[in-house]
Structure 1
Amino acid sequence: MSAVMTSAAPRPKASFTTIAAITIGNGLEFFDFITYSFFAVVIGHLFFPVKSSTVGLMLALGSFGIAFLARPVGGLVLGLYADRSGRKPAMTLTLILMAVGSLGVALAPTYEQIGVWAPIWLVGARLIQGFSLGGEVGASTSLLLEYADDHSRGYFGSYQFVSQGLSSLFGAAVATLLTNTLSHDALYSWGWRIPFFIGVLLVPIGVYIRRHLDETLGPVAHKGESATATIKDAFQAHARLIWSGVLMVLGGTVATYIIVFYIPTYATHFLHMPLSLTLWASVTASAVLIPVSIYAGRLSDRVGRIPVTWWARAALVVLVVPGFMLLIAHPTEWVLIGVVAVLSVLLALQASPGITFITELYPRPIRATSLSVVYSVGVAVFGGSAQLIVTWLIQVTGSELAPAWYMIVATLLSSLPLLWLKETAGKPI
């Protein structure tokens, strides 16, 4: 086995400014990536013009999901870069790549303009976005935890989901504003492009902010082997933890992409609620994620990652079907917001400690790479496909409860590693 020697850099002094710098950059990148899902119905019409609206929606969701195929590759390449060259340069590179992909989406000609090349262009831009985001989570979460002491990592790690909540909130707010102020023709003609241009324009802010962060990796010495061999040996030594991490990601990512991003599409397409109304569900979910993620992180510092994750997942399994049944029976604005709010609380309670727990499993020399690959594979296989799969399940079964049952199966499978993994809260990493 190769020698990978990392002498940890002295832990920099943590401050709210530090957390904000990491969080804002991470949030900007997620904003660029997830805004696409809020306009799935519009994109399906413009880039995948088929007779069946459901098939068009599935194709649009498929193009959303295809970006996730690039995330494991980006996770490996950019995570390796973060573990060898530092968290800061990797995080700056991911922002620049995201700007390129987002600009590609913003400028994409429609099917009416260039025919079959339109979806090809769109998919290419989405793949660049996916590659970029694949390396972001590992580098930024590693940096957050390496700034923290042993008794506050849950709190620091929670800001990974705070940043995602902020980006979702911003994206949903922009989408809601556009759908409520623009005419149908204006929205479909040019309005849907505005969020992607906004994302591109905000990237330089993230790059500037990240330049002032302190590095936490420390000097790394690699004796005689290539980076690929070094990581291969390290992954073989921690294979059980790698696969456990992928399973842990499964439940949280499926719940996230259904509760936060899919429910507006679901309510619009299957419950026939107006898009201008259903987007408030994503606003609600995002607003809930922010404070509850912080609370869950602090709670996991006190009582442990495993107990908080266990109870949140158990509650989700019990409540998700009744929640969907209530929404189907009473498809009104306040029922939609109420159901999404409750499910979002349970999502934040499991996801916030979960990302910290997974990160703590891996040693510093391979931490960013391991988390990037684990998170990207889990999200690519399960999260990126969730919206497409549940739409297909509704189509073939005729049951509008399919998303709820799918979440239950994913949550139960994702909880299995909690049976054999050991608690990490309060222990040195």
Structure 2
Amino acid sequence: MTSTSAPARPGPGHRPARQLLAASVGNAVEWYDWYAYTFLATYIAGQIFPKGAETSLVPLLATFAVFAVGFFMRPVGGLLMGAVADRHGRRAALTVTILLMGGSSLLVGLTPTYATAGLTAPVILVAARLLQGLSVGGEFAASTTFLVESAGPGRRGLFSSFQYVSTTVGQLAASGIAAVLVGTLSAGAMESWGWRVPFLLGAALSLVGFWIRRGAHETLTPADGEGGRPRPGLFDALRHHPRASLLICGITAGGTIAYYTWTSYLPTYAELNAGVAKADALLAGTLALGFFALLQPLGGLLSDRYGRKPLLLFFGVGFAVLSVPLLRSISGFGTLLLVQCAGMVLLTGFTSISAAVNAEIFPARVRAAGIGFPYSLTVALFGGTAPYVGTLFKDLDRPGLFPWYVSALCLLSALVYLRLPESAHKELER
């Protein structure tokens, strides 16, 4: 079989709007499914992991499923689906990831209760969460390369920004649908069948995303001639580009802790440390997320004009200096909303261009796997653990240490950004 090694240049079948739609709709569906589980975890636990279960394996499986499985599988997904994207094309990998997510979402929606299936129920749910983590990890690897390679000259930053636009849209959709169901259904209906609706809807939406992605233009072309290099192996990116792999980790560490703190953990942080009411904290978080999505294309456009480094340093230095005063200033709904929006402005310096920055580090032949594994591993180590680290500091009666933890990781990444060569105006390596 002919090897794949270089991104295709835009041709007659290349339509930028279709490329953006294929990546963005699919990515939004992926993250809708991922966050739906988070928002409905308490209802799922009541049906699948009952407190009065006979066997001690049930609470163990509950803890494993909710807190570990998804994030554990993301680096694996980044590596495996990244390799698929590098060997068989970006579109093939994007098709696999959205079908995996649709299948896992359907599996969650159809999981039997513990009362009807016993231990089989949590085992099925753990399997579904494994597939979700695999899919999300692979989605970032494939969609990052697909978006950036689809961009025309001087537009890689703009295309890159839609990675987090669509992620945020998926998060807001999951939150909104969960809120509507909780607000309209009785508690009994929600506990018995209502929690299944978002997952069944997610499975249906995955089919829509699959249909859109099938018509996308492939950005990776076969190598010319019979003497082309063999297709890359699973670990070729790590083996031949170890410095680039470490660079991805350094670039991502500060960005992922800031992202998960400001988009996911901040409402809980405000409740625990400033006494903000839960409803007010969630409202502030929702408003800030909408503001965040609107900022992303602006950040991408600025980076295309002025470069990646100024935005990365704006983010890294900004959070290193301001994380502590911002988090300590939260005292109520108003200050929480201001703090969250201020953080979103700073965070845009990273999120709007992270896909472009990562893609510009690796050659096309190993780009997807090269990005996918170190990025997802760093997210699992620092982003996924942010809520637990924050809660741990609170339990240890040292809540003031968490802002310093965020600040330190952002300072570390800022030092990496200082040494990073500017790549915005260079041709993407083939």
Shorter-chain TM range is: 0.7 to 0.9
Structure 1, unaligned runs of 5 or more: none
Q: Would the alpha carbon gap of residues 393 and 101 (structure 1) be closer, same or farther in structure 2, given more than 3 Å must change?
A: farther
Cα distance, 1:64–1:21 mapped onto 2, change above 3 Å: same
Q: Is the 8 A contact 2:111 2:125 kept in 1?
A: yes
The equivalent position to 1:306 in structure 2, one of 294, 305, 309, is: 309
Is the counterpart of residue 423 in structure 1 residue 388 in structure 2? no
Find the residue that maps to 2:314 and give its secondary structure. helix
Runs of 4+, deviation exceeding 6 Å: 221-226
Number of residue-to-residue matches in the alignment: 417
Instruction: Work out the CA distance in 2 between the residues paired with 1:340 and 1:62.
Output: 29
- How far apart are the structure 2 equivalents of 1:208 and 1:362? 29
| C-alpha distance after superposition, 1:116-141 (max 9, x if no partner) | 55544332211110111111112112
Structure 2 unpaired stretches of 5+: 53-58
Preserved contact between residue 9 and residue 217 of structure 1 (Cα < 8 Å): yes
Q: Quick one: distance in 1 between partners of 2:314 and 2:10?
A: 33
Q: CA deviation at 1:162?
A: 1.0
Separation in 2, partners of 1:350, 1:107: 38
Whether the 8 Å contact between 2:236 and 2:366 is mirrored in structure 1 is no
User: Is 1:246 equivalent to 2:245 in the alignment?
Assistant: no
Task: State the alpha-carbon separation in 2 of the partners of residues 180 and 200 from structure 1.
Answer: 23
Point out the more displaced range, 417-426 or 105-114: 105-114
Whether 1:236 and 2:239 are equivalent positions in the alignment is: yes
- Superposition pairs of residues 295-334 of structure 1, within 5 angstroms: 295-327=298-330, 329-330=331-332, 332=333, 334=334
1:150/1:425 contact within 8 Å kept: no
Give the letter aligned to residue 375 of structure 1: Y
Aligned residues: CA RMSD: 3.0
Q: Percent identity?
A: 36
Residue matched to 2:137: 134
Aligned to 2:40: 39
Deviation (angstroms), 1:50: 6.4
Counterparts of 2:112 and 2:278, CA distance in 1: 24
Going from structure 1 to structure 2, the CA distance change for 1:70 and 1:320 (only over 3 Å counts) comes to same
Cα gap change, 1:49 to 1:199, in 2 (>3 Å)? same
Please name the residue that 2:356 is paired with.
Answer: 356
Match for 1:316: what amino acid? F
1:254-269 residue pairs with structure 2 within 5 A? 254-267=257-270
TM-score (norm 1): 0.87
- Checking the alignment, whether the CA contact within 8 Å between 2:292 and 2:341 is kept in structure 1 is no
When the two structures are superposed, what TM-score results if normalisation uses the length of structure 2?
A: 0.86
CA distance in 2, matches of 1:226, 1:307: 38
Q: Which secondary structure state, in structure 2, belongs to the residue aligned with residue 10 of structure 1?
A: coil
The one-character-per-residue Cα deviations of 1:337-383 (angstroms, maximum 9, x if unpaired) are: 33222222221222212231111100011111111112221222222
Partner of 1:170: 173
Q: Deviations over 1:195-218 (max 9, x none)?
A: 222211101100011111111100
Asked if residue 30 in structure 1 is aligned to residue 50 in structure 2, the reply is no
Q: CA deviation at 1:323?
A: 2.9
Change (3 A) 1:342 1:176: farther
Cα distance in structure 2, aligned partners of 1:166 and 1:188: 26
2:56 is matched with which residue?
A: none
Task: Report the AA paired with residue 325 of structure 1.
Answer: R
Query: What CA distance in whole angstroms lies between the structure 2 residues aligned with 1:339 and 1:50?
Result: 38
In structure 1, how many angstroms separate the alpha carbons of the residues matched to 2:65 and 2:311?
33
